[in-house]
Structure 1
């Protein structure tokens, strides 16, 4: 079950009309444990910067935190998968915030199969609504027996997963594709804690890497295959990724 609040009050048929009828907005997704979250400052900055760009307005951090705390208390949970959506109807003096609370989730740790697709998101640096293309190709990947879709541009340059970031291991560094994409919170937390570099990655380059892994708000998982390129799960690397991830402090909401 999903519990929903809008502007700090339980959602009603009337207040749900806005998110039901508009796809212009943005959001952030987080995993809450014991009313804490990894990378709270990064989530708040994501919401602030997207609000400025999409609506030319300001979003108060404490209002966001208060709405999250209120929704968790009202749902009577301390562990959750939680999203904060931001809308700003024309003429309103402040943004509309919708908070959704669902049961907590963790990315299944089994190695993933990934299908390349010819698609890149519009305004990829924003976690915006209306992602028909990425949902379409993710569904196509699932129907073809894969776990995730890999978004690539017309020249075959890798950008990101449909709902993940991807990283490659060359034996020395974790390579994050240098292409227009969303900076995922888990990626942002792991990148400075691992021997990382950014550079363009093309589909033709994939056989040159030893292994790969995916990250998103639910965690991380190794990749076993991208199209016809098979990867061996590097247990040492995944141990380093796990240690870096577990070392991130949980921030009180």
Structure 2
């Protein structure tokens, strides 16, 4: 694992701040032959989060430069890009300015699973539209789900509608149509990549509220994130789904039809 801060080796002081202050945002993804699927979406996510959380963005050119420096010619790796400001602490949160950029390079992780059984809990992540570093609620809910015999957890809002998983998005299958939940949640990059390729894969889609009590009327469900492009969900609580290999293959084709975009410009 290699950790750089603004392109230089991380210091103990840098990492101490990261350990003690969980204010920041990040994105993470697989690098394939110097490219990243959905790099434009990851860059937009970072820039928007930087402006919202710190008041200023490092800018796309600088983010690309630091990503390329971190990857340093590696053929394949996992890259996490985080934004933080050492000037911001629990007693002094008022700093406005450009955040620092931490890059962490590690081996690509395996997919979450080949299939998932999930339970549900009422929960909406704080600032759900951001991929931020405050993950206590997600980790606690996932621990409880596994203690109850499930693989993971799916969040439900106060209206009884499905939103997102602990670290993934969910899509439902209704014939040849993919139904994406409409709720307070993170817009996933992998979800967007699948969406971009659906027409080519012969599928259509819609975004609408999906109530939990409606799940049993749908044909199937799957999860997706950067490490796991498509994984069937075989149960949500007591509701079970049969995985359809043909539909899952078309979803994987929709994702893979979006080629990696080069990090270096």
Counterpart-to-counterpart distance in 2, 1:72 and 1:193: 27
Aligned-residue RMSD, C-alpha: 1.5
What's 2:111 paired with? 107
What's 2:185 paired with? 181
Report the 3-state secondary structure (helix = DSSP H, G, I; strand = E; otherwise coil) of the residue aligned with 1:189.
Answer: helix
Counterpart-to-counterpart distance in 1, 2:79 and 2:57: 22
What's 1:8 paired with? 7
| Residue 74 of structure 2, aligned match among 64, 77, 82 | 77
Shift of 1:192: 3.1
* 1:118 has 2:122 as partner: yes
The question of whether the paired residues in 2 share the 8 Å contact of 1:157 and 1:200 is answered with: yes
TM-score by length of 1: 0.94
Query: Which whole-Å deviations, capped at 9, do the CAs of 1:79-111 have from their partners, x for residues lacking one?
Result: 112110001335575311111111112415522
Report the 3-state secondary structure (helix = DSSP H, G, I; strand = E; otherwise coil) of the residue aligned with 2:30.
Answer: strand
Shift of 1:55: 1.3
Report the 3-state secondary structure (helix = DSSP H, G, I; strand = E; otherwise coil) of the residue aligned with 1:130.
Answer: coil
Counterpart-to-counterpart distance in 2, 1:252 and 1:233: 34
User: Given the superposition, is the C-alpha separation of residues 143 and 3 from structure 1 closer, same or farther in structure 2, using an over 3 Å criterion?
Assistant: farther
The question of whether the paired residues in 1 share the 8 Å contact of 2:54 and 2:98 is answered with: no
What's 2:215 paired with? 206
What's 2:169 paired with? 165
* 1:29 has 2:28 as partner: yes
Moved more, 229-238 or 103-112: 103-112
The question of whether the paired residues in 2 share the 8 Å contact of 1:109 and 1:220 is answered with: no
What's 1:224 paired with? 234
User: Given the superposition, is the C-alpha separation of residues 120 and 246 from structure 1 closer, same or farther in structure 2, using an over 3 Å criterion?
Assistant: same
Counterpart-to-counterpart distance in 2, 1:52 and 1:163: 23
Counterpart-to-counterpart distance in 2, 1:183 and 1:173: 19
The question of whether the paired residues in 2 share the 8 Å contact of 1:47 and 1:59 is answered with: no
Q: Which runs of 5+ in 2 are unaligned?
A: 89-94, 199-203
Counterpart-to-counterpart distance in 1, 2:97 and 2:131: 23
TM-score by length of 2: 0.90
Counterpart-to-counterpart distance in 2, 1:49 and 1:94: 12
| Residue 127 of structure 1, aligned match among 124, 128, 131 | 131
Shift of 1:229: 0.5
Moved more, 138-147 or 98-107: 138-147
